[in-house]
Amino acid sequence: MAILEIRKYPEKVLKQKALPVTSFDQELQELIDNMIETMYAAPGVGLAAPQVGEPRRVAVIDISSREDKCPLLVIVNPVIVSSEGEVEFEEGCLSLPEYTALVKRSENVVVKALDRDGKAIEVGATDLLAIALQHEIDHLDGILLIDRISPIKREFFKKRYKKIQKMNL
């Protein structure tokens, strides 16, 4: 296994809609294993394939460090089939280091997906798992955390980010 480079804003792969997975071959299994290792090393609670430069509809989530009843979850070609309620949560993102924002999400979601072996699964989620699922599925649709905040906050983020980039050069 290998730790992959996590792509950072504003890399283009983060804004592209990921392609559906059609083959559950050894290459996909290696990608999933590497994504899991990368997520833990970051450390994070979720990681989508576009965040490691792979425009495929694959994500891994593990919130067990915060909620022990939830094991590692691998979702392939996920779709939110129902959602209800609304909750606001302070989110961060591995592709936007050192930045957090209050984001409104559905409080409860049901997601249909395939597991790493191509078997159909359905995940009903609340709380942090619901938020993590929505966050990672957003990545698969080319939507970033900053796309979910107000235009004023987004512009403030962009200006601050450019200033930080210049300081790091």
Active site amino acids? 136
The two structure tokens encoding residue 12: 């283009």
Give the phi and the psi of residue 54 in degrees, each rounded to 5.
-110, 105
Residues 6+ apart with CB under 8 A from 62: 36, 39, 40, 45, 46, 70, 71, 72, 73
Of the candidates 130, 117, 113, 129, the one whose C-alpha atom is nearest the C-alpha of residue 57 is 113
Sequence-distant (≥ 6) Cβ neighbours of residue 91 within 8 angstroms: 100, 101, 102, 103, 131, 135, 145
10 preceded by a cis bond (ω within 30 of 0):
yes
